[in-house]
Amino acid sequence: MSSPSSVLAILCLLCFLNGQGMIAKVAANSRVHIVYLGERQHDNPKLLTDSHHDLLATIVGSKELASELMVYSYRHGFSGFAAKLTESQAQKLSELPSVVRVIPNSLHKLQTTRSWDFLGLPSQSPSNILHKSSMGDGVIIGVIDSGIWPESKSFNHNGLGPVPSHWKGICESGDRSNATIHCNRKIIGARRFIDGLRKEHGKPLNLSAEFLSSRDAHGHGTHTASTAAGSFVTNVSYKGLGHGTIKGGAPNARLAIYKVCWNVLEDGNALVLRCSSADVLKAFDEALHDGVDVLSLSIGSSIPLEQEVHDDIAIGSFHAVARGITVVCAAGNHGPLAETVSNTAPWIITVAASTMDRSFPTSITLGNNKTFLGQAMFTGPEIGFASLIYPELDDPTADGGCQSLSLDKTMVAGKVVLYFTRVSGSTAAIGTAITNALAAVIEAGGVGLIVAKNPSDFSVPFNEDFPCIQVDYEIGTQILFYIRSTRFPLVKLRPKTFIGKPLSVKVAYFSSRGPNSITPAILKPDIAAPGVNILAATSLRDPLWEGGYRMESGTSMSTPHVAGIVALLKAMHPNWSPAVIKSALVTTAWRNGPSGLPIFAEGSSQKLANPFDFGGGIVNPSEAADPGLVYDIGKAGYIQYLCAMGYNNSDITRVVKQNTTCPIKKPSILDMNLPSITIPNLNNPITIERSVTNVGAPESIYRATIETPFGTIVSVNPSALVFNSTVRKLDFTITISAIHRMNTGYYFGSLCWADGVHLVRIPLSVRTVFAPYDENHENDDWSAGLMPF
């Protein structure tokens, strides 16, 4: 109740940097709270709102005061309200039997021409799922973000049919936003929600950098919406890079825009993007009524995470999933450290970010004809053989970059400089060092800079006009040895866009990692998608726009890729539940890159990616359309999870609107029918249940193969599953035991069902934990997450 408000973020990197130090302002004695009442007890929204006012009036004394304090009534997707309350009013409300939880309002942070071809969805190939799904026509993707720039070419509605008949939402007019002009057959809904933020703030918000409407002043929402469902636009590039036709994942899907994130001008003229949880929850409430099929949220909270019934996104998405709406959320940009993943509720699809097999390499050819590839966003002409120098530092431990070298003009002019970053620590510090070095080299008349840096560092600022080429220490060292080996070292620099083979795909440095810090037995993230250097539409208020498009990186960018793919799957399989869609994505994901190379994870040391980096792997849309078997979860499965998490009967009964009595012996979270198995504390042998539903050919036989995690024995019973036209769903068990009685870290493997056509693979992640743990498992609490180790 009195927990400090968590800080929420939009999950793109620049926004993330802007969001540093963002803390909720708490009014002295009263602040916005969300009073969550669970599933709607009846269907009449008007009566529900009346009941919310009555409930509030009983606590605050009068109907008039209740009306004044009320911020929102949630009455479409679930029941509850947001209101300005003192601590003691909140406490009293929380004690009422009809109230599930009272949650203090919190602030969220918001955390590609090529990306779709990379995922196997080029628009030319006629047989691919883009065509089988009519490019997502008829499916509505709701985007809860910073709004939309409706004039962008990416939102043209050329060739689109009428607005889908199940759409019940609206387009609001407002500041520089006219529903008649700005909504079309692509953008079919556009609304804004700001009351939660306003009432939270106490003093008036300075919105002079905003539009009081669904129009996007920031660019983030336009970028994510166009990535999910942008229409075809030809001849798009960013400063000549990544040139081509741009489109979203589901070019014929429709967009419903819910603006909840606002560019607020703070004291000292700092622009901060703020999204309040009361507003996010109102967006869910309306979207569930409006008829969206998929929701995309590039928004998240930071550690420590809140339990499901304390987290607005978890609550909103629970009710969405209960109505068959898939919710796709960003994993966060707090990688590569472990246990940083957010949006961890098991009904959400949580998306990590990967690089693509496209990059902007510059080839570096030395005078001895050795050629290396470095990364640069340099678009200028080739630099012919120029002199190459390495100015030795007086103080090799100096952190200030090239500024601490007094670069001698006569020494540097006309030459290419090699520079080693020696700073460790934050990406920002490395970025500053490189920026300083670059400025010093340009100042001294150099013609190029080769920066050697730790390969784990996330790619830091690129400069389009000057060749600043990044290499890792290994390549940097080879260049240095060359310089020292010859009297007249020379180098040639040649920029090009490289697509395909030579580059392996990696999980991005910044992408938040598992294990899940709330429920370690639930694997998070679920899946990865491209999130580095994604080209998409932006707001014309965005200072970095270039012809209406910009490059951006973050799990914010990977999330709408998956939302677009979900729209394609929905168009092909309208009856698939959110759990089936998630299973199809996870079990078919790429564990190797499209070129067959294993997928690495950027991090403190170069390592192969494991499920805590990318869940099942990198999303593979064509295979996901035909997964063979799926791990489905219905209402009973979610109730089992809520029981396993220790929520009491009365809470669960309200949340699911079904009389619930949890079994005396708590169910195991491990038995939730997820497309993954994660055992945080294997001790005695354990047997886990799963069931699979055949969505492929009715007559099929699947056999199990197991990649056993190191130090364990795994068996599956039965080891073959025989389906026919009457037997569509089969149960099986997996028994896992530890070989050695010792504590270990996590080891990984997989369980794969194969019928000769499909490979249905789920990741296994196992850690063995022995003393001082309870040998009999009687007090094991899978939800606690606090394992002595």
Ligand X SMILES: *[C@@H]1O[C@H](CO)[C@@H](O)[C@H](O)[C@H]1NC(C)=O
Residues that bind ligand X in the complex, under the rule CB under 6 A: 173, 178, 180-181, 206, 208, 235, 265, 269, 368-369, 648, 650-651, 659, 724-727
Cα 774 to Cα 789: distance, rounded to the nearest angstrom: 13
Smaller CB distance to ligand X: residue 233 or 253?
233
Smaller CB distance to ligand X: residue 477 or 724?
724
Instruction: Tell me the CA end-to-end span of the chain in Å, nearest whole number.
Output: 30
Cα 276 to Cα 274: distance, rounded to the nearest angstrom: 7
Per the annotation, the verdict on 556 as an active-site residue is: yes
Chain-centre distance of CA 550, in angstroms?
19
> Whole-number minimum distance, CB 682 to ligand X, in Å?
30
Smaller CB distance to ligand X: residue 368 or 424?
368
Smaller CB distance to ligand X: residue 123 or 206?
206
- H helices of 393-530, in order, are 409-412, 427-443, 473-485
> Whole-number minimum distance, CB 419 to ligand X, in Å?
25
Smaller CB distance to ligand X: residue 208 or 575?
208
As given in the structure block, the two tokens for residue 759 are: 């490979």
Q: From the candidates 182, 220, 334, 561, which is the catalytic residue?
A: 220
Contact, 249 vs 228, CB < 8 A? yes
Query: What is the residue whose two structure tokens read 């003093």?
Result: 203
Q: From the candidates 137, 145, 293, 632, which is the catalytic residue?
A: 145
> Whole-number minimum distance, CB 182 to ligand X, in Å?
9
Per the annotation, the verdict on 220 as an active-site residue is: yes
DSSP 108: E
> Whole-number minimum distance, CB 518 to ligand X, in Å?
16
The backbone torsions φ and ψ at residue 612, rounded to the nearest 5 degrees and listed phi first, read -75, -15
> Whole-number minimum distance, CB 575 to ligand X, in Å?
22
Q: Residue 417 pairs with which residues in a beta bridge?
A: 389, 449
DSSP 481: H
Contact, 251 vs 232, CB < 8 A? yes
Cα 132 to Cα 289: distance, rounded to the nearest angstrom: 28
Smaller CB distance to ligand X: residue 270 or 771?
270
Residue type at position 408? D
Cα 246 to Cα 228: distance, rounded to the nearest angstrom: 12
Residue type at position 345? A
Cα 130 to Cα 356: distance, rounded to the nearest angstrom: 20
As given in the structure block, the two tokens for residue 84 are: 């300005």
> Whole-number minimum distance, CB 91 to ligand X, in Å?
11
Smaller CB distance to ligand X: residue 147 or 603?
147
Cα 346 to Cα 569: distance, rounded to the nearest angstrom: 20
- Sign of the dihedral through C-alpha 620, 621, 627, 631: positive
Smaller CB distance to ligand X: residue 178 or 604?
178
Query: What DSSP assignment string belongs to 129-167?
Result: HHHHTGGGTT-EEEEEES-B-TTSGGG--TT--SPPTT-
The backbone torsions φ and ψ at residue 621, rounded to the nearest 5 degrees and listed phi first, read -60, -40
For the beta carbon of residue 724, count every other beta carbon within 10 angstroms.
11
Q: From the candidates 556, 622, 750, 765, which is the catalytic residue?
A: 556
> Whole-number minimum distance, CB 416 to ligand X, in Å?
18
> Whole-number minimum distance, CB 728 to ligand X, in Å?
10
Query: Annotated active-site positions, please?
Result: 145, 220, 556
